[in-house]
Amino acid sequence: MVLAGLLAISLLYMSLAEGQPTPNSPQPVGEQSPLATDNLSFPWSRLRLPRYIVPLHYRLLLHPNLTNLSFTGSVQIQIDVQNNTNWVVLHSKGLQISKATILDQNLAHLSDQVLPVLHNPSHEQIGIFSPRVLSTGQKYFLYIEFGAELAEGFYGFYKSTYRTSTDETRILALTHFEPTSARMAFPCFDEPSFKANFSVRISRSPDYISLSNMPIIKTVKLSNGLLEDWFATSVKMSTYLVAFVICDFKSVTATTSSGLQVSIYAAPEKLLQTHYALEVAVKMMDFYEEYFNIGYPLPKQDLIAIPDFEAGAMENWGLTTYRETSLLYDPLTSSLSDKLRVTRVIGHELAHQWFGNLVTMEWWNDIWLNEGFARYMEYISVEATYPDLKVEEYLLHTCFAAVGHDSLNSSRPISSLAENPTQIKEMFDTVSYDKGACVLHMLRHFLTDEVFQRGIVRYLRKYSYKNAHNQDLWDSLVNTCSEEDFISGKHCYSSGQAAKNAYLFAGEHLDLTAMMNTWTLQKGIPLVTVTRKGSRLLLRQDRFLRTVLPSDPLWPTLQKGFLWHIPLTYKTDASDTIHRHLMTTHTDSIHIGEEVNWVKVNTDMTGYYVVHYEDGGWDVMTRLLKENHTAVSYRDRTHLIHNAFQLVTAGHLSINKALDLIGYLQEETHTVPLIEGLGYLELFYRMIEQRNEPDMTHKLGVYILQFFRAVINQQTWSDSGSVSERRLRSEVLALACHLNDPPCLERARHSFKDWLQSNGTLNLPTDVAETVYSVGAQDDHGWASLLHAYNISLSAAHKQKILFALTCSRDTNKLQRLLQLGLEGKVIRSQDLSSLILMVARNPQGHHLAWNFVKRNWDSLVQKFQLGSFCIRNIIIGTTGKFSSPEELSDVQLFFESIKEQTSQLRATQVALDNVQKNIRWVQRNLETLRNWLNKQLV
């Protein structure tokens, strides 16, 4: 009977837990001194743990002390031994191990002495020696007592603080374990394939609450006045998904249609900012349960806004953690883009509850299976639940970001080798997230929505509570499985039959593995060159590189061995049909007919490749946009603009041609191509502005203002209009004021004056608040008023806008002061330091200031953010991103050389150097042409 079964399980849990030794339990007789370690050497030399001991269940007891900022704890790990051994090797980092013992299945000690613990700090491992052999096929309990300080920084079990409106500082303790930091909170087998169940107990003061992955099943009063929360045993999961928070936060709660309890936690004074997130989370959970056709397996889902958090958010199962800007939404100060960010981030983390948590990649080399999917599901989920947010308009920019990174020689394959913690952290990059999402987008369009969805449901069902590889996903998508599965009568094909039965496409049998390996196992992105020859379209594929020209001696070497299976799509003026063709060779051709006037390849940019129209093909596209731009979709227009300017950088197209192509934008009514064209002009402006070329900077500014005058004049300084219109407003007015457009500056100054006179009680329209503050920050009084407002604001989104404005000051002393405040981490939190540095670097006056700050404070930055973290990567790539002179390149090289012991482990330094070299070549090839073109336009 079900009820009796549940009762029996809970009684068993209680008896085992009560039989668990605790830090205060008496030692067995004869346990006076540990075994000598003199003759023992560390038994394991590899970074990855041995496979012959498998953890089954962790019973974790923790006592964090928020007064002295330390914690003690014990863990009892049930292990399954699969080879005779005297050693248990597992992970531990920065923990003081005070006791280790091994017990048999009856909880009897194997030794009457405390066992020796050997440390291998370079591998973050400990080895525990058992004088009695642990036998194959037997289960044991490993029991360890430990303690440590709460960590500084953002990893492991760390402290965070927040200030109340009465200026009181409150402390909380929380965890962030992904990818390799669970070992900083408790000794564990800290690799994704060692999935286990977790039973957590946390002691706390009655002034606090504690949260973990599972709900509390009971709270016990301890003799010292503390309370101990017992959490239900978790489902089987990887260590990096374990989470706990001890805080004094408040929450709001709602229930999904399937009865799941969803709660949003935040600092008490920010509780009113949680309501939008609650609405989103409930909608998203409903959507995912239906889309994946798999019920969410935990009894609750908590989302919590953390004051100090390096990442945007983290998908811990049942307790997802967020930066305040990623979860809290204040209707008075949060803009539409803030709202979209909150919606997307929640969509991302809740997608992970299935993709990543239920099914986890075998190892970090395939982290894209988690992150690429979650990034792509942001778009699918938000489009389904909040269609008015027009999230599909942003997917193009995700793919453009991936192209930007992937067209440098320093890029990497989606699936890449990653062994040590620094290499693993570096896997959380543009390639895993953005390229992963865009390759999945291409695959979904190739296979059709229905086939794609059915395939991923099959994948999630088959590998639930397990780990998977790339190959498992491809097999699930083409409905293949092992011979054993096939014989057992499951609805799938054997691998031998796959070639016969896989989806028919373009008259050919599809080998999905062969196709997808070309996208995941080799780096880079293809360039498809299209030439019209009568009734045929001639195609050639090369590797697209923005750092090397076809005329360079290096070109043949860098092209060697690259070949993609490209699912091409194209549209012509002869019909509305989207034509499809799978290109698997270096050269190919397609019959299109003599009557066709134009062909647009890569329809709606559903494919991840760049297209070059050779032999006058770009003139045809320019004419088409000029005469009838609506003949192709807004996505196609945006794609043409993007490809043209990318080809300029790569040396395949002259800048004149690309500038002529965007001449039609004065007739454009859709915001996305407008923003794309405007974005390139702004990019050139900022690069020239930072090169200290005042005459050319002025002329380009005048041209942009003339060209977009009608668009600028149409903008209202309000929050009215559609999502797309509001997005355009923010972009256009920010640039107009930066270009010193008199009407823009006058309106912004007037609004800022009103805001000042209201003593900060006036809420500016959120779409233009950042622009108004940026103009207001140009004088001393305005800047000081903004810094004060930053200090007291309770809205993280509002603080972000003010901080950006403060970094727009032309006074280098003020910029220097901001950087110093960021380094101190009190007024400006350390979590915001990396974005602060990039904001200062974006300012022409702060350009070299930011870079010099990074060089001077490098050791402090690495200590704060850890070497492979995305913060360090953003700092390295972001501060050097606009450098465009040989002198600047030499400076960057010298600095990287001076820290080569660290940079030898980093891919980001090579990306930064590639970027600077690309900029130098762009200037050498295009600056004079652009100068001449501008002079003609301004006659």
Concerning whether 349 is annotated as a catalytic residue, the answer is: yes
Residue 285 φ then ψ, to 5° = -65, -40
860's CB contacts (< 8 A; 6+ apart) are 823
Beta strands 125-134; 53-65: pairing state = unpaired
CA count, 13 A, side-chain hemisphere, 779: 8
Token representation of residue 313: 């958010």
How far apart are the C-alpha atoms of 62 and 148, rounded to whole Å? Answer: 11
Q: How far is CA 405 from CA 408, 493, 514, 547, 795, in A?
A: 6, 38, 24, 11, 33
Cα 874 to chain centroid distance, Å, stands at 12
- In 5-154 the beta strands, taken as DSSP E runs, fall at 53-65, 70-81, 85-91, 96-103, 117-120, 125-134, 139-149
How far apart are the C-alpha atoms of 340 and 205, rounded to whole Å? Answer: 38
Q: Is 788 annotated as a binding residue?
A: no
Q: How far is CA 862 from CA 157, 180, 181, 875, 900, in A?
A: 19, 17, 16, 11, 14
3-state secondary structure of 351: helix
Active-site entry in 124, 279, 349, 668: 349
How far apart are the C-alpha atoms of 462 and 457, rounded to whole Å? Answer: 9
How far apart are the C-alpha atoms of 152 and 173, rounded to whole Å? Answer: 11
3-state secondary structure of 89: strand
How far apart are the C-alpha atoms of 892 and 879, rounded to whole Å? Answer: 10
526's CB contacts (< 8 A; 6+ apart) are 541, 542, 543, 544, 562, 564, 566, 609, 610
820's CB contacts (< 8 A; 6+ apart) are none
Quote the longest CA-to-CA distance of the chain. Answer: 97
Rounded to a whole number, what is the distance in angstroms from the first to the last CA of the chain? 89
Q: How far is CA 35 from CA 42, 140, 697, 859, in A?
A: 15, 20, 74, 40
Judge whether 690 and 677 are in contact, CB under 8 Å: no
Q: Is 371 annotated as a binding residue?
A: yes
Q: Is 738 annotated as a binding residue?
A: no
How far apart are the C-alpha atoms of 447 and 347, rounded to whole Å? Answer: 23
Three-state helix/strand/coil letters over 806-849: HCCCCCHHHHHHHHHHHHHCCCCCHHHHHHHHHHHHHCCCCHHH
Sequence-ordered alpha helix ranges (H) in 334-469: 336-352, 368-385, 392-406, 421-426, 430, 436-447, 449-462
| Strand-pair partners of 61 | 74, 201
Q: DSSP letters along 274-292, please?
A: GHHHHHHHHHHHHHHHHHH
How far apart are the C-alpha atoms of 697 and 691, rounded to whole Å? Answer: 9
How far apart are the C-alpha atoms of 319 and 459, rounded to whole Å? Answer: 24
How far apart are the C-alpha atoms of 342 and 323, rounded to whole Å? Answer: 10
Element (H, E) at 125: strand 125-134
Judge whether 388 and 723 are in contact, CB under 8 Å: yes
What is the Cα gyration radius of the chain?
A: 29
Residue with tokens 């280098």: 812
How far apart are the C-alpha atoms of 608 and 436, rounded to whole Å? Answer: 10
User: Which of 362, 351, 216, 366 has the alpha carbon at shortest distance from 292?
Assistant: 351
DSSP secondary structure code for residue 768 in this structure: T
DSSP secondary structure code for residue 191 in this structure: S
**Residue numbers belonging to the annotated binding site for Zn(2+):** 348, 352, 371
Active-site amino acid positions: 349
Known binding-site positions: 348, 352, 371
